[in-house]
Amino acid sequence: MWFNPWRRKNKEVIDSGIDYQKLPRHIAIIMDGNGRWAQKRGLPRTMGHRAGVEALREIVKTCSKLDIQVLSVYAFSTENWKRPKEEIGFLMNLLTEYLRRELNELHQNNVVVRALGAIDQLPDEAQNELFKAFKQTENNKGLILNLALNYGGRGELIEAIKKVSGQVKSGKLRITEIDEECISGFLYTSGLPDPDLLIRTSGEMRLSNFLLWQLAYTEIVVTDKLWPDFNKQDLLDALKIYQKRDRRFGGLKTDKR
């Protein structure tokens, strides 16, 4: 695997209640509740999406300061194409705007921008900004920001199965060589650690077709807060909950103290 974690020597102390030796390597977030946030305030749904971008900005900054290795955020699912065309158009324009506005700062803070999903089906303008971000940040050594765009967990698995089948058909792979590591190597997250922590906002208790393979042993924290209201302190609180969990991965707890 190419992945080689990079760490700053002088970590900024953001919260004395956080154990900096037990931070998750990979945080995944289902950013839910933008529309409800707007409706509660008598605003159009688009204003909720715009407020959600500001929340993401703060969370990316905090993860970068904490030296989290990977942050994967569910920005636009394959199911989101069912929404009204006007809302989809706004979301695509907002993505383009976000990348144009934030790219230089992301780059200056050593963030690597990547995408999970079938981005070739996004509008050309959004694709152009994404590829520009990929190119400009590809050699950075800090936080890897995965934007899940036109992403669906089942679709990802189907594509992985097709690729594995092609390898078997061409004789490059034997059936006996197909194992978990093999399958993982054909996923969008190839080479990255699986998420240690999944945060879902707005109180919904479902995965919504997000990272189905990768979340097999992930700790889940659900908050009733709507995504635009989710802030730095909420992230720190989720980390504290995560650090109290006993991660056994199907085994037994070995620490008897």
d(CA 229, CA 37): 8
d(CA 110, CA 142): 5
- Provide the greatest CA pair distance for the chain: 60
Query: How far apart, in Å, are the Cα atoms of 43 and each of 37, 51, 55, 87, 91?
Result: 9, 11, 17, 14, 16
Catalytic residues: 32, 80
3-state SS assignment for residue 15: coil
Number of other residues whose CB lies within 10 A of the CB of residue 20: 13
Give the phi and the psi of residue 39 in degrees, each rounded to 5: -60, -40
Number of other residues whose CB lies within 10 A of the CB of residue 158: 11
Give the DSSP per-residue string, 133-194: HHHHHTT--S-EEEEEEEE-HHHHHHHHHHHHHHHHHTTSS-GGG-SHHHHHTTSTTTTSPP
Give the phi and the psi of residue 140 in degrees, each rounded to 5: -70, 160
